[in-house]
Chain A
């Protein structure tokens, strides 16, 4: 069985005469279209709702609650977020945003390196250790050490507690991605290219970097996007490995986890009072931070969606 990875995401072409002849009845089509439009709205409306809340004034929340039609619009929440300072005088949310960006960049690069090299090595049929490697990669797919022993090993043996590395390493690699990569190399990179490299006396590293990688960009892009979104959305690793007193290490998503406690912390903070508003807009402010965490995703994913689809299609093919 092989599902082509290059199929685009649009439904079947309706161009051919035969296809038009075989189409569903107009009434059915209207019903289906309505259903899908409703489902689409259902999926997007919460984001719109939170954006509206974040632009409501705190007084409006008190009056009409969280509402699609606020009594009064305001950008107080964002001004306040902009002026928030931590105890060392650094802008809290901007710092968390940059932390998230940094973790995402470093993590994605590291993950790509680990996944692509292993995927390539596994795709080489002549490699003597291929059998052992395949088993080694396969076992973690069906068996793992569980949360406690992972936690104990990472904190007590590897000393990752309260470091950025604790947020990077555990998410960097996964057997699922390695297998996607291996399948891609096996099916699309011709052996002749690698043989020709060897004939010219190139090392495997050089063949990999200079010959294989440039023609594997679709797979690289797919994995890179999987990793990017995983790192950007991660709050779980932070909740495991970053103690809640280490505010400066928080990525954006973890600021959201801790905000209930933090709003008090922020409010008591002398530096926070440089904003124009004197009342802490706590209700709208958390929604503003949610918006800051969501907007980058919302505006980027439609462009990258096709890579995800090709990725999960390759992944669905058993190796």
Chain B
């Protein structure tokens, strides 16, 4: 990573041609703190993934490296048995939730914001457009903890607005965080995700719409194109690239989930687990809510998540590259 490597990989001749100047040295020192940060907080954890292939045992009193290299045996793929061994139902549930929610989020996360962005760009009053857009951006700036309390204000069994309304109309309240309400939660989670992200993604598409050359619309209008035709033949094709970029980024994260959404808004209620158990929640729960965490299993789950996520991203990008080379992300 330092200048040595360049010299080694380029050979002597080239080294003479492209000499490492004082300028390069200064730039190197300027970037050194960030380089160290990347090493410690990105690359070290990547090497930490070898825990997935070890029977990790903490050596009391010794450091992490000692525990990892001298105290833990290699165990091949044994740790991946967690997937198939004792809790098959949980595993299926976990993957189904992670991928299922993500697919719904990806579809709605393109369709809804694009529609709304086109609609808001058609509004006649700039003032309404500006104010509503600002208001819709608000949820993006709130943490899931805070949103969890918002949800609680509506859904609390004793005092929540919804139950009080039901009771004032003579019904009996629903225990929203208990098993009775389990069928409502997938819809709640999808709604909350859309609620929190829509303002942000709408603005992404809106700023692309505003980058479109005005004269295209004028020409279309003179040819008698309706507003719908202008949208279909100008706006949507012009948004294609940004839609594809957003799509690839979302697909690459298909094995990840927005942890706060699943963990905080459900208040981590154990009777709702089957609804919100995603890979991230599984990893977190087995690390912090399990009295005897098995590091090997957890690391195996994390390894699968990282590798599968990386592969899906590369695959999605490759497909896009085949269809339309210009739109590929890398």
Contacts and interface: CB of A to CB of B under 8 A. Distances in A.
B112 to A, nearest CB: 10
Interface stretch (B23-31, B83-91, B100-108, B179-187): B23-31
Contacts of A46: 147, 150, 153-154
A234 B143 contact: yes
Interface in B121-162: 121-126, 128-139, 141-147, 149-150, 153-154, 156, 158-161
Contacts of B223: none
A157 B303 CA distance: 20
Given A121-B30, A158-B40, A18 B153 contact: no
Contacts of A124: 27
Contacts of B156: 65-66
Q: Tell me if A's interface is mostly helix, strand, loop or mixed.
A: helix
Contacts of A66: 153-154, 156, 159-161, 164
Contacts of B309: 142-143
A132 B138 contact: no
A121 B31 contact: yes
B41 to A, nearest CB: 6
A240 to B, nearest CB: 8
A137 B38 contact: yes
Interface string A73-101: 00000000000000000000000000000
Interface stretch (A35-43, A215-223, A262-270): A35-43
Interface string A42-64: 11101101100100000001001
Interface in A213-269: 229, 233-236, 239-240, 253, 256-257
Interface in B280-314: 280, 283-284, 287-288, 295, 298-299, 301-303, 305-307, 309-310, 313-314
A118 B28 CA distance: 9
Contacts of B143: 233-235, 253, 293
A316 B120 contact: no
A297 B147 CA distance: 14
Interface string A284-301: 001100100110011001
Contact of A146 (B161, B217, B252, B302): B302
Given A129-B3, A142-B310, A24 B204 contact: no
A147 B302 contact: yes
Q: Which of B37, B131, B154, B195: most chain A Cβ within 10 A?
A: B37
B145 A235 contact: yes
Interface stretch (A185-193, A198-206, A273-281): A198-206
A115 B34 CA distance: 7
B46 A144 contact: yes
Interface string B8-50: 0000000000101101101111110111011011111111110
A316 B24 contact: no
Contact of A153 (B29, B44, B144, B283): B44
B245 interface: yes
Contact of A24 (B24, B122, B221): B122
Contacts of A287: 149, 153
Contacts of B51: 148-149, 152
A139 to B, nearest CB: 8
Interface centre among A120, A144, A156 (most CB of B within 10 A): A144
A10 B130 contact: yes
Interface residues of B, number: 120
Contact of B46 (A33, A128, A143, A204): A143
A295 to B, nearest CB: 11
Nearest to A232: B143
B24 A40 contact: no
A28 B20 CA distance: 64
A283 to B, nearest CB: 7
A36 B121 CA distance: 11
Contacts of B132: 36-37, 39-40
B27 A204 contact: yes
B133 A9 contact: yes
Interface in A101-123: 113-115, 117-118, 120-121
Contacts of A113: 33
B272 interface: no
Contacts of A9: 130, 133, 203, 206-207
Q: Which 10 A-B pairs have the closest CB atoms?
A: A145-B45, A146-B302, A149-B48, A156-B64, A40-B135, A233-B143, A204-B26, A46-B150, A118-B34, A65-B164
Given A142-B314, A145-B49, 17 more contacts: A9-B203, A9-B206, A39-B132, A47-B142, A66-B154, A114-B33, A120-B30, A121-B31, A142-B252, A143-B310, A148-B295, A149-B45, A154-B41, A173-B38, A208-B30, A233-B146, A293-B143
Interface of A: 1, 3-4, 7, 9-12, 14, 18-19, 21-24, 28-29, 32-33, 35-37, 39-44, 46-47, 49-50, 53, 61, 64-68, 113-115, 117-118, 120-121, 124, 126-129, 132-133, 136-140, 142-154, 156-158, 169-170, 172-173, 178, 198, 203-205, 208, 229, 233-236, 239-240, 253, 256-257, 283, 286-287, 290, 293-294, 297-298, 301-302, 305, 308-309, 312-313, 316, 318
Interface of B: 1, 3, 5-6, 18, 20-21, 23-24, 26-31, 33-35, 37-38, 40-49, 51, 63-65, 67, 116, 119-126, 128-139, 141-147, 149-150, 153-154, 156, 158-161, 163-164, 195, 198-200, 203-204, 206-211, 214, 217-218, 221, 227, 230, 241-242, 245, 252, 259-260, 264, 280, 283-284, 287-288, 295, 298-299, 301-303, 305-307, 309-310, 313-314, 326, 329-330
